[in-house]
Amino acid sequence: MTWDYDELYSCPYTLLLDELSISGSRAYVVLPALNYRISILRRGNVFREVSNIPGNLDATHVVEACRAISRGMEPRRLEGSLLRAIAHSFFYGGFTIIVDTVEGETIPFMLEMVSPTLHLYYRSGGCRSPGLETWVRFGVFLRSKTGSLIQGLCGRGIECDNGVYKVCGSMGEIVVSHKQINIPGYFRVVVDNTPMRHVVKIPG
């Protein structure tokens, strides 16, 4: 059964990894998932939502941010720093550190494309934040796959085991491997390196 639409917004499930402070501003470390999404279709004044996000992943903020954008609201006008960070991250893709500044702006602090040859696994929940330096070096590793950049962090911010690396932030855990592995309790994630999809039907 098909449903004709005039406009479509496809928003990635946003993996929340950490919340930390940068010079008094609140920052979030996030990753968008290509394989888990909420799509909002509009036909006239009628909206329809289609999602493949598993029920045991909390998508409350992702759905709220996607709904707001699909209704024409600017991300900077959303209530709450986390919601603004998620909405802004939709427009970038890849590994992102988003800062909600004390001046009232929400801006990317770091953007890194993630190598498509890496295998990533995610679990929500968290530990103590490993700190900004760990995330910056980890982000560069996700792009370059250069293990030496994070080798010095093994045992102090990153768990390293035979080419498998795990970082646990205050909001979630991410495991990265050069080959596919089986980790019970984690979701296999394909990172979306491009912004959210927006499709507009052109009248013919």
Give the residue from 72, 92, 112 where a domain finishes. 112
pLDDT at 99: 97
* Residue 28 shares a structural domain with residue 79: yes
Share of the chain above pLDDT 70, in %: 98
pLDDT at 100 over 60: yes
**Residue 4 confidence (pLDDT):** 83
Dihedral (CA of 59, 62, 66, 67) sign: positive
List, for residues 78-98, the tens digit of each pLDDT value: 999 999 999 999 999 999 999
DSSP 89: H
End-to-end CA, the chain: 22
Asked whether residue 32 falls in the same domain as residue 70, the answer is yes
Q: Is residue 48 assigned to a domain?
A: yes
Distance CA 77, CA 165 (A): 37
pTM, two decimal places: 0.93
Q: Are residues 69 and 12 in the same domain?
A: yes
For residues 50 and 143, state if they share a domain. no
Shared domain for 55 and 99, answered yes or no, is yes
Pair 85, 182 in one domain = no
pLDDT reported for residue 200: 85
Query: Average pLDDT, stretch 180-185?
Result: 94
Residue 204 has pLDDT above 70, yes or no: no
pLDDT over 70 (residue 160)? yes
**How many folded domains does the chain comprise?**
2
One domain, residues 102 and 123: no
Instruction: Give yes or no: residues 131 and 90 share one domain.
Output: no
Q: What are the DSSP calls for 35-86, one per residue?
A: EEEEEEEEETTEEEEEE---TTS--HHHHHHHHHHHTT--GGGSSSHHHHHH
The whole domain housing 94 covers 7-112
pLDDT at residue 20 is higher than 60 = yes
Report if residue 57 sits inside a domain: yes
pLDDT greater than 70 at residue 136: yes
Say whether both 52 and 89 belong to one domain. Answer: yes
pLDDT at residue 2 greater than cutoff 80:
no
